[in-house]
A and B are shown apart, each in its own frame.
Chain A
């Protein structure tokens, strides 16, 4: 079971929108609406930003949104702010018989 594929880095200026992709297979992202996204600042624990593809937990700003098309899920950050600079990881349930969850390779978001 390979990790989900994310771009290594994405950057944008304050106020801009950026999108992070997360590509899996028909055994995970493509077949289940159980994609979640996590934000991790250096030395900190991950924080849930999106669950079930497009749902936002309470307390997460509506600048963060999620979607999915086929085997690729996406996280969009609108109105980029300095505090959004962090690593972002996607995660999906998988029907693999070797594990339940597979994570993405991670994307470093830089606010220019």
Chain B
């Protein structure tokens, strides 16, 4: 059974960057598609981008293009999401979630990482 475990909460200053990790266990990491999705307080979900580790291919939502970088380390079955030029509106819970080629849904999700951007 696949499990995704994310890194802990972060507090960042405006203009800085944050890097969140997502470690997978219980499956074949390199064949997954890992997406990152965020949820601002009291709001809905926003898809940010994804990576296909076996191909090293990334796709980003246009809204975040240039500010987000998603990477993966196959040796440790860990995906990373780095968001730069942080502003207060980036305060949110960031989730990683597994997809699969030909499977356009997310299952499972990581537990979420709260990123707070505050001066």
Interface residues, chain A, with chain B CB atoms under 8 Å away: 3, 32, 34, 36, 38, 45-48, 51-52, 57, 89, 91, 93, 97-106
Contacts and interface: CB of A to CB of B under 8 A. Distances in A.
Contacts, number: 62
18 contacts: A3-B44, A36-B104, A36-B105, A45-B95, A45-B109, A45-B112, A46-B109, A47-B108, A51-B103, A51-B105, A52-B105, A91-B105, A91-B106, A99-B61, A100-B47, A100-B50, A103-B45, A104-B44
Contacts of A103: 37, 44-47
6 nearest interchain CB pairs? A34-B104, A98-B62, A36-B105, A99-B61, A48-B107, A51-B105
B35 interface: yes
B62 to A, nearest CB: 4
Nearest to B45: A103
Among A51, A98, A99, residue most surrounded by chain B Cβ atoms (within 10 Å): A99
Nearest to A94: B47
Contact of A101 (B47, B63, B108): B47
A101 B95 contact: no
A92 to B, nearest CB: 8
Interface string B43-71: 01111001000000001011100000000
Nearest to B50: A100
B62 A48 contact: no
Contact of A105 (B44, B47, B106): B44
B33 to A, nearest CB: 10
Given A100-B50, A106-B44, A46 B105 contact: no
Nearest to B60: A99
B111 interface: yes
A22 B51 CA distance: 27
A27 B99 CA distance: 21
Contacts of A51: 103-105, 107
Nearest to B42: A106
